Amino acid sequence: MRSQGRSGVRLRRYASAIAVVIVGLIVIGFIADALVDWLWFSTIGYVDVFWVVLSAQTLLFFAVFAVSAGAIWLSGFVAHRYARSPFILPAGRASGSSSEGSGRPQFIAELADIAPRIPWLVSIAGAAVVIGLIIAASEIPSWDIALRFLHQVPVGERDPIFGKDIGFYLFSLPVYVALKNWLLRLLFCSAAVAGVIYGVRGDIALGPSAPGLSPAAAAHGSALLALFFLLKTWSYGLDRFLLLYGDNGVVVGAGYTDVHVELPALWLLMGLSVIASIGSWANMRWRGYRIPAVATLLVFGSSFVFALIFPALFQRFYVKPNELQLEAPFIQHTIALTRHAYGLEQIAVKPFAAEQRLSLAAIQANHATIDNIRLWDVQPLMDTYAQLQEIRTYYKFLAVDIDRYGLDTGYRQVMLSARELEPAMLPANAQTWVNLHLLFTHGSGIVMSPVTEKSTEGLPSLYLQDIPPVASGGPSIREPRLYFGEGHLEYVIVKGSVPEFDYPKGKDNAYTTYSGRDGIAIGGIALRTLFAWQFDDPNILLTGYVTDESRILLHRNIQDRVRTIAPFLSLDQDPYIVASGGRLFWMQDAYTVSRWFPYSQPGFGDGSNYIRNAVKVVIDAYDGTVGFYVSDPSDPIVRTYERIFPTLFKPLAAMPQDLQRHIRYPEDLFRIQAQLYRVYHMEAPEVFYNREDLWQFPRGLAGIDGGNAPDTPAAPMAPYYMIMRLPGEPRTEYVLMLPMVPSRRDNMIAWLAARCDPPEYGKLIVYAFPKEKLVYGPFQIEARIQQNTDISQQISLWNQMGSRVIRGHLLVVPIENSILYISPLYLRAASGQLPELKRVIAAYGDRVVMEETLGGALAALFKDTGPEAPPVSRGTADTRARDALAHYDRAIERLKAGDWSGFGSELDAMRPLLEGLGASAPEDRR
């Protein structure tokens, strides 16, 4: 026995030591994380943000922990203090019967046997601390909604049912729901701890033959049940507001049944819960089963009948037969608030005549649009960039971005891609720690090409190329190094004793030393030890390449960098690279979103039903500087965050002017708005209810074999950027657009445009076609292309000759009040990876043509639409007609060659000849 006692003591000592080590490691890990974050936030100039977030998390954690642990300990202490009374057993059963006779499970009996040896107060306190820590840790992510609650701003608009400011739903209601859920968990844990103590002390009998509670356990349970019913009262009160997030298939939000049946039922359940709570408090004196049972049955039975069964029957047998009439006002609420939540109410609707009056003269007048029609699709261009410009295996183009620049050749739409370093592409034997973290530290430059031009071989014309970047019409780049990008970038150490690889240079390599402002100094042994612990990498501590000047660069993936600074912002999936002032910058669109906007249709996978592109983020690709610029100051959520983080945000006007010229309407937001607008452009409840005018995204074909294969999938058309002159506008501008077609039809009914250039940035317009006129949609044009025998035969011939035909995406190009359709066609060798732009397909009206160039396609498409010469008779008129025809033929040749200047000159020369013919015609007829 003595040996067993010593073994037990040693076992307890080992267990205690292990527990201390585990807790110590957790604490050290937490301190190390916090210290690294503090150092990093300090170096990038946002240490105030770090302290606000850390303070909020810490205060919330300790507040929740203190209340949770205190409540659980109090419940356990009360149970321990009063768990001394005998059982309340059925008549004829002795209170001192054995565990078998008492109905207690065997494990309870065994615990009761060892209970006298347990230090109860210590055990209760330990349980309270452990459970309190778990609960507090689970509430840490709520720091965001807590701060928004404390710093909320009013929205200035009210919901149509309760008349509360929308800010109540965005900022207060989430906190109330989270608080209610926490208190319910806390109450459950308190009851569980008390139940275990009463069970171990013999105050609870769980056997089927003799269930029973001691007076102390009954009183304690009654008190906890009373608190539960008080929480249920509050919960039912909150459920009134949660009705505004329901969905009955017709109304998103509170419908007729919700307002006229469920809302009164919730008021009734609140009253019943108060009565049940009072009864449970009273039962602390009587300590019987009847009052708790009746209270529980009263509340939950009434909830089942009045909040579940009766509303369902009312909806089915009263509302359904009269649904449109009864639900119309609530449908109107859904339409109005959904449109507001997504900014759809700001979309202007304008008519678009969809005329068939385009001519060569009209094409010339809109040459800025024609010059910027995108003939290069992203994937073929990325494949081409990879073959021509990756230079070395360790460089990689991760994405192709689309932007516009004011160049010597005019306002041009371009495609560009950053040449990023991909360490995983180094040879396996070269992926050493020194190479990955000290030597290969950055990418180099960008590639840029215009969207329309191509070489005679069908390759893109390059405005920027090579390493270091060589400008041939594009902007000059003085600092091409990319230490921060879109790739999976681990930490690197700069300013070490080993120089950094810069770029390959003939047989040798060029080297550089980082001179940017980013990075945490790790010259000291203490910080090297800290980061060796943090990254589980002893090489940081052991290497001899780190000097007193060395710095470590963290969070080099730009989206990870932005999320670390501002985790409360949602990020657009497509950041894009910008060349400005000789440097490279990343621009990242950021959104404020919420799941708590009343009466709004969820439009995201996570259930969010409100979005604003409230912030534009700029990241310097060289030194990692991050700037947050408020692009939508009317957004109440970003205004609230400005109160929380007063040093984080800047006004959009503070962004450098050249960078402001590159902001664009984000594609993710546009796609979400277009998806909702398909339905919510119908503002009349009757039309909305019947879905009479439901729209869809057009279908399109693109891919291998020219989209001619019978199993080629038809994917929804994606939005695309264009430089164009909107109808009725005086100048060309950058827009994001998407055609729309009616539901289950392929003819085009409208197109949606978002303006990207200041001062009209952010304005959305829908150009609606006349409903009595047929306008071909993209899928119908695709069908006509496939049915064109000349095009189909040519594609089949190429596919049989060892090449692979890749059909590019079809673009709908509005010009004046007409619609032009353009689609590129690429060829790629069956065994090659270099697509070449070989043909351009153009369609207008009933005509479809395919030529080698865009100019040639347009010339073929409009060859019969030039200015018509009047009949001529003799002499001077005949000479003028021949001269005009000669100028017209030369204009066509210039157009085919893409010489817009020569094309315009020939048209100008032709004009006076035609005017002379018109003036002489009456005289000739005399």
pLDDT, mean over the chain: 88
The band of 214, judged by pLDDT with boundaries at 50, 70 and 90, is confident
Q: Residues 709, 710, 712, 713: what is their CA dihedral angle, to the nearest 10 degrees? A: 170
**What pLDDT does residue 890 have?**
73
Report the amino acid identity of residue 204: I
Contact status, residue 851 vs residue 840, Cβ threshold 8 Å: yes
Mean pLDDT of the region 30-37: 92
402 with 454, same domain: the answer is: yes
Among the candidates 610, 632, 663, a domain finishes at 663
Indicate the pTM of the whole model.
Answer: 0.88
For residues 142-160, average pLDDT: 97
**Residues 719 and 666 sit within 8 Å (Cβ to Cβ):** no
Instruction: Indicate the pLDDT class of residue 832, thresholds 50, 70 and 90.
Output: confident
| Sign, CA torsion 37/39/40/45 | positive
Q: Is residue 182 part of a domain?
A: no
pLDDT band at 888 (very low <50, low <70, confident <90, very high): confident
Q: Are residues 760 and 899 in the same domain?
A: no
For residue 454, the 8-state DSSP code is B
Question: Would you place residue 102 in the very low, low, confident or very high pLDDT band (cuts 50, 70, 90)?
Answer: very low
Instruction: Name the pLDDT band for 904 (thresholds 50, 70, 90).
Output: low
Residue 429 within any structural domain of the chain: yes
Indicate the SS3 state at residue 660.
Answer: helix
Q: Which of 341, 363, 394 is the last residue of a domain?
A: 341
- pLDDT grade, residue 203 (50/70/90)? confident
Tell me the longest C-alpha to C-alpha distance in the chain: 139
Residue 728: inside a domain: yes
Mean pLDDT for the stretch of residues 771-792: 91
Residue among 244, 371, 257, 391 at smallest CA distance from 317: 257
Residues 656 and 706 both lie in one domain: no
Domain that holds residue 446: 376-482
Report how far apart the first and last C-alpha atoms of the chain are (Å, whole number): 139
787 and 749 share a domain? yes
pLDDT band at 715 (very low <50, low <70, confident <90, very high): confident
- The span from the CA of 540 to the CA of 527, in Å, is 10
List pLDDT tens digits, range 241-262.
999 999 999 999 999 999 999 9
CA distances, 807 to each of 388, 835, 844 (Å)? 21, 11, 18
* Least confident among 120-124, 359-363, 395-399, 700-704: 700-704
* Arithmetic mean of pLDDT, 82-90: 51
pLDDT at 885 over 50: yes
Mean pLDDT of 85-100: 40
Q: How far apart are CA 759 and CA 79, in angstroms?
A: 70
SS3 767: strand
> Are 654 and 681 in a shared domain?
no
Arithmetic mean of pLDDT, 322-335: 97
Is 146 inside any structural domain?
A: no
| Beta-carbon contacts of residue 33 (< 8 Å; ≥ 6 apart) | 534
Share of the chain above pLDDT 90, in %: 70
Return the pLDDT at 23.
Answer: 77
Task: For the beta carbon of residue 873, count every other beta carbon within 10 angstroms.
Answer: 10
Residue partners of 437: CB distance under 8 A and separation at least 6: 490, 491, 492, 493, 539
- 407 and 468 share one domain: yes
- Asked whether residue 3 is assigned to any structural domain, the reply reads no
Q: Is the pLDDT of residue 727 over 70?
A: yes
Residue that is last in its domain, among 419, 454, 482? 482
Indicate if 303 and 335 belong to the same structural domain: yes
Q: How many CB atoms lie within 10 A of CB 839?
A: 26
Fill in the DSSP letter of residue 462.
Answer: -
Same domain, 240 and 304: yes
**Nearby residues of 412 by Cβ (< 8 Å), 6 or more positions away:** 371, 372, 404, 405, 406, 450, 451, 723
Q: Does one domain contain both 659 and 606?
A: yes
72 falls within a domain: no
pLDDT at 870 over 50: no
Q: What is the pLDDT of residue 286?
A: 80
Same domain, 388 and 302: no
Say if 812 falls within a structural domain.
Answer: yes
Does 118 score more than 70 pLDDT? no
Q: What are the b/e assignments for 388-401, b being 16+ CB within 10 Å?
A: ebbeeebbbbebbb
Check whether residue 846 and residue 880 sit in a common domain: no
804 and 840 share a domain?
Answer: yes
Total number of domains constituting the chain:
5
Q: What pLDDT band is residue 800 in, cutting at 50, 70 and 90?
A: confident
Residue 839 tokens, joined: 């043909």
What does residue 852 show for φ and ψ, rounded to 5 degrees? Answer: -70, -30
The confidence score (pLDDT) of residue 837 equals 94
Q: What is the pLDDT of residue 898?
A: 64
